[in-house]
């Protein structure tokens, strides 16, 4: 069926003229799945982790060119993954940064490159009463490069925890006229908190530390396995530490500012907290986006 | 470009011989979106509702035939929807039953037809302290026909509510040594409960009644809008009526048996309750499938 | 159980001091479901549509205050929906703008408000050979207000269509050594294209026009019902009009620039096109974000 | 805060009397995430794989008992995972079977147990022109046990491939009056095919073989990376091997019957094929459920 030497294909439509001469901000592939070997000191006390990653890879495109060579994006990914076999990557954000640099080499016409990586990450944890558990988290990595040399990387986490509502608790206390010293019932629910730091190259942040910061900011962390006394203790702890979604975000911000005293002012911080409200069918949400510098000034 | 009279197309590959002569259980289209006008006495006290439906439409296929004529499935849907303009359907399960009958006419080779319809449904509700709200529910309709005359239809609902855990409450009571008469704190969370009845033609069940049965079986219904006293009352109500997912399912079963004394024993009941646990990252789940006859014997 | 006059509740924790004195960018509710009556000249030639909306409603929060009064967000929504009963809203973006203004009144401490609305929208369409169909689209509306008076609204659409790959077609033509004048086979697939315009108040854009612009930019629109000749014609049309995701985005941009000659330069345009590639397990993606002014200069 | 020896907790509400004395078909946990080490001869030529699993674990519940001890479900899971550290499991279906047996020990009141496991699986593949790629698949495992000794396990795969429509191709050929020997254009799209076998203990089926059977039944497999000649070859291959969703299902059935001559007649086979149609906004779907014995008789 194939009537020509396929190696002689000269067609390269991508370099031709497109539908119209508009620049494109981002062109590439979304949702490429790939296992990656990550080595990280302290990453759950394990040296090498195989992370199942979902990867988006984009470059920009000048107005003069019809198409981007998308297969090069997957080639860059495969280069980096192949290299990780012998030399495990130090984090998905470092892998994203490495890919961004290579993308500018492979796409000689591109001025910027963007990579986003999402992975599931499992880590040991300990219940209030000391039992070992193994919990699931999300890792959020990324990088953005410009040909003039700017490279920004993102390192973040997605953590599921529990929030107990302070307003509900106070309202019920008043309604019942309760004057004792026990924490009173309130509505509580599953909360999803994301913390992402964006910083220049050369700055290293441990995902495990970010997870710890977030878990400390919930009313309580959550656990795969809770025998009865541990279940009771989680409930008591949460009701002694009630949190709005606003409190979760600010608690994370406070811990970030305290923990990362040495990071420069231009590190960009994005924190979101979303509660799957038990008393509503919709969710409650809070977010803060801003630089470390701004945050340092606000809460003196 | 078109060089022939397209009306003269003789190609009908579907009637030809297929890959292999195996019968197929179900062939058709999934996820067709369509607004449908439904008229129902008592349906939220409104006479006509436009429901946005997602519809799956299947017939079986004999081993001798390569393909099913899938466009006929959409034609049958459009016939029924067109007719609903002048004569609103009495429920999505009746529409599914109507479609099943027509499918056997349009697909002369089919022995069975299946239709599933999912729709979002809004309904008025009242908070504990009497404020009006407007809540979202899911309607689950369907029908299955066999050429020998059997027609079964499904009518069901998906309802979001709240469960407060009885075990956590008792554990905390013991741990705190509390001996007062107030309900003690526990973990609570969003629960999704589905109730589906499958019955022969001629039996009518109101979706609104099913929603009421389910909402009565939660620790508390949930509401889009709760000012502070109502929020407190919902919390108090839920803690006075703690429920496992098992309790939610059984509460629904009990109410179904009580409410539908006149329905025959062969009505099939499927109830599921799934809690998005606030203390775990995973969900708790309970289900009962069985006939009304079985249920009537079990809880005498 | 309730021991006090609930109307006398004085608790208003939200006004208290929070976890830390950081400002929050966005606090509110996500995913509130609500049917809204929309009146729009030319909206599918129908005067009034009931749209099932999913709504996010946020305001910012000063560092001095613990919490935002989230129930006020739903109250604002209900005010607007109630008013739409007697006076249908002219579009979900206008509804979002209206809500933003009211949010600043209800949240006296807020400096900004944000509303996002997503709705499913059905519209009549015509196949290549003239048959009527009824297709599903997404409407994307929103607004952002600042207390100093700036109000920006977003109006957009999500449209599903078909792309056939020009590169695959040319490669196959070469590989087969085909020298005839028929369009040659290539891979083709489902494409999801989003077009969103952000503009100041007082500028009106019809969602129906945006849908038309996007459908013209695909290799072909797609249809719920295609009898055989129409199916053939859609395939032929698509292969005569092959499009990369890049071409879809640029085709939309070109049509936006041509259609909206009277809109000011500061209108912000965001176009994305994502193909669920038939030859890959991942998707292809292209995006352009920029002002109308920039676009007008680029493609002269 | 804790005022009693928590080890002395006597509360065991689960053994108490429930909401009503109905038996429950299935009670347990859904969506527990856990990495599992799997060892399998021939599994991608790799000895040990770490699979990220999502696990559902249920037992039934007698009418006399209020609740099931759900934490025992997670304990059983952890036992099996711990053991897999030293002795890797031979497949997720064997792990499910092992868990089912242990569940009946831990839940002395249960008569049945059900486990479902879904995992992402990566495997080497080769493009038409011989380039190595690495593709993502889904593994579907499960088991069901009854206390009287019956144990059934499920082993299945979810595979993404490509289908090109035979009807569209023939219609276009007629419409264009084409009389040459090249395969003519048609619509093609992403297809998701699931194949699941349910069999008694002692029967072993390799997931890799199931993946191969399914990939052979598409118009073409799909690949993460296709340089131009490979892209062309995939397109040509698909157009020379057009398939309805019906054909995909029957192709899989034929290959299952041929491959598994030694499996008993009572093995239950479930095959589904769903195409994300490029010419429609909805999907096409086909399914066959039946025993190997039935299949063996049908296509003689």
Residues B151-164 pLDDT 10s: 999 999 999 999 99
Residue C191 has phi, psi (to 5 degrees) of -125, 140
For D:194-233, CB contacts with A below 8 A are: 224-229, 232-233
In angstroms, the separation between the Cα of residue B5 and the nearest Cα of chain C is 10
Extract the tokens encoding B262: 């006149």
Q: For Cα atoms C236, B34, C44, give the angle at the middle one, nearest 5 degrees.
A: 75
CA closest to C296 among chain A residues: A22
Nearest CA in chain C to B229: C6
The mean pLDDT value of chain B amounts to: 93
- Average pLDDT for residues D109-117, to the nearest whole number? 98
pLDDT attached to residue C37 = 87
Check A228 against D33: CB less than 8 A apart.
no
Separation of alpha carbons A230 and B168, rounded Å? 10
CB contact under 8 A, D30 and B245: no
Cβ distance of C185 and D235 shorter than 8 Å: yes
Q: Which CA distances in Å does D57 have to A115, C203, D101, D194?
A: 37, 56, 12, 22
Range B276-293 burial, b when 16+ CB lie within 10 A, else e: bbbbbbbbbbbbbebebe
Cβ neighbours of A169 (radius 10 Å): 23
Kindly report, residue by residue over A21-57, the tens digit of the pLDDT.
Answer: 999 999 999 999 999 988 766 544 455 678 999 999 9
State whether A6 and D232 contact (CB < 8 Å).
yes
C249 interaction partners in chain A (CB closer than 8 Å): 22, 24
- The model's pLDDT over D170-194, given as tens digits with 9 standing for 90+, comes to 999 999 999 998 999 999 999 999 9
Q: Is the dihedral of CA D258, D263, D265, D269 positive or negative?
A: negative
Q: Which residues contact C108 (CB under 8 A, 6 or more apart)?
A: none
Residue D249 has pLDDT above 90, yes or no: yes
* Closest partner CB to C226 (pick from B11, B71, B225): B71
Is this complex's ipTM strictly greater than 0.90? yes
| pLDDT tens, position by position, B250-266 | 999 999 999 999 999 99
∠D116-D121-D126 over CA atoms, to 5°?
145
> Which residues of chain D lie closer than 8 angstroms to C224, CB-CB?
280-282
- Residue B253: Cβ-neighbour burial (10 angstroms; 0-12, 13-18, 19+): buried
| Residue C57, token pair as written in the block | 């409603």
Average pLDDT over residues B28-52: 78
CB distance B153 to B169 below 8 Å? no
How much is the pLDDT for A10? 53
- Give me the DSSP letters along D241-287: S---HHHHHHHHHHHHHHHTTTS-TT-EEEEEEEE--SSSSSEEEEE
Any C CB within 8 A of A28 CB = yes
Q: Which two tokens stand for residue D81?
A: 């995972």
E strands present in B13-131: 24-39, 48-61, 112-126
Query: Considering only B78-82, B192-196, B241-245, which range has the smallest mean pLDDT?
Result: B78-82
Q: Check pLDDT > 70 for residue C116.
A: yes
Does the pLDDT of residue C2 top 50, yes or no? Answer: no
Pairing of strands C283-291, D24-39: unpaired
Residue A12 or B269, more confident? B269
Mean pLDDT of all residues belonging to chain D:
92
Instruction: Read off the pLDDT of residues C250-288 as tens digits, 9 standing for 90 and up.
Output: 999 999 999 999 999 999 999 999 999 999 999 999 999
Cα distance between residue A1 and residue B229, in whole Å: 76
Model confidence, pTM: 0.95
d(Cα C98, Cα B110) in Å, to the nearest integer? 54
Is pLDDT of B276 > 90?
A: yes
C129 contact residues in B (CB cutoff 8 A): 6
pLDDT tens digit sequence for A217-236: 999 999 999 999 999 999 99
- Provide, as residue numbers in chain B, all residues whose Cβ is less than 8 Å from the Cβ of D58: 285, 287
Asked if D11's CB is within 8 angstroms of B174's CB, the reply is yes
Neighbours of C, requiring at least 3 CB pairs below 8 Å, are: A, B, D
What is the rounded CA–CA span in Å between residue D54 and residue D141? 10
What's the rounded mean pLDDT across residues A193-213? 96
C50 and chain B: CB distance < 8 Å anywhere? yes
| 3-class secondary structure, B238 | helix
- Distances in whole angstroms, Cα of residue B237 to Cα of each of A55, A212, C97: 46, 35, 38
- For D210, phi and psi rounded to 5 degrees? -65, -40
Residue B94 has pLDDT above 80, yes or no: yes
Q: How far is CA C188 from CA C176, C212, D174, in A?
A: 19, 21, 20
| pLDDT (tens digit per residue) in A51-100 | 999 999 999 999 999 999 999 999 999 999 988 888 888 899 999 999 99
Residue B285, min C-alpha distance to chain D (Å)? 5
CA–CA distance from A31 to each of A57, A77, C144, C249 (Å)?
A: 9, 12, 31, 20
Residue D82 neighbours by CB under 8 Å, 6+ apart: none
C190 interface with B at CB cutoff 8 Å? no
Provide, rounded to the nearest whole percent, the portion of chain D with pLDDT above 90: 84
pLDDT range class, residue D10, cuts 50, 70, 90: low
**DSSP string computed for chain C:** ---S-GGG----GGGS--SS---EEEEEEEEEEEEEEEE-TTSTT-SEEEEEEEEEEEEEE-TT-S---HHHHHHHHHHHHHHHHHS-BS-HHHHHHHHHHHHHHH-TT-SEEEEEEEEEEEEEEE-TTS-EEEEEEEEEEEEEEETTS-EEEEEEEEEEEEEE-HHHHHHHHHHHT--SSSPPP--EEEEEEEEEEEEETT----HHHHHHHHHHHSSEE--S---HHHHHHHHHHHHTS---HHHHHHHHHHHHHHHTTTS-TT-EEEEEEEE--SSSSSEEEEEEEEEHHHHHHHT-
Which residue of D166, D170, D246 is in closest CB contact with B68? D246
């Amino acid at each position: 069926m194939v009537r020509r030497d396929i190696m002689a294909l000269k067609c390269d439509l991508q370099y031709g003229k497109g539908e119209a001469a508009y620049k494109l901000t981002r062109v590439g592939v979304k949702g490429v799945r790939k296992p990656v070997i990550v080595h990280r000191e302290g990453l759950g006390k394990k040296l090498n982790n195989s992370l199942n990653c979902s990867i988006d890879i984009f470059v920009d495109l000048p107005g003069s060119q019809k198409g981007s060579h998308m297969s090069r994006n997957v080639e860059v990914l495969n280069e980096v993954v192949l290299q990780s076999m012998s030399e495990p990557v130090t984090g998905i954000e470092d892998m994203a940064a490495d890919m961004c640099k290579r993308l500018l080499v492979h796409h000689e016409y591109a001025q910027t490159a963007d990579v986003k990586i999402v992975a599931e990450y499992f880590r040991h944890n300990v219940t209030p009463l000391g039992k070992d558990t193994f919990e699931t988290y999300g890792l959020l990595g990324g990088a953005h490069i410009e040909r003039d040399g700017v490279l920004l990387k993102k390192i973040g986490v997605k953590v599921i925890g529990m929030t107990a509502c302070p307003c509900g608790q106070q309202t019920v206390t008043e309604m019942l006229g309760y004057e004792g010293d026990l924490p009173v019932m309130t509505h509580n629910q599953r909360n999803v908190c994301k913390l992402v730091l964006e910083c220049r190259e050369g700055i290293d942040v441990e995902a495990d530390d970010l997870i710890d910061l977030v878990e400390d900011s919930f009313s309580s962390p959550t656990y795969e396995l809770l025998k009865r006394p541990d279940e009771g203790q989680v409930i008591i702890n949460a009701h002694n530490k009630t949190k709005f979604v606003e409190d979760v975000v600010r608690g994370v911000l406070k811990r970030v500012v305290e923990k990362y005293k040495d990071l420069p002012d231009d590190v960009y911080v994005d924190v979101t907290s979303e509660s799957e409200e038990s008393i509503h069918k919709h969710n409650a949400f809070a977010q803060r986006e801003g630089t470390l510098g701004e945050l340092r000034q606000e809460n003196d």
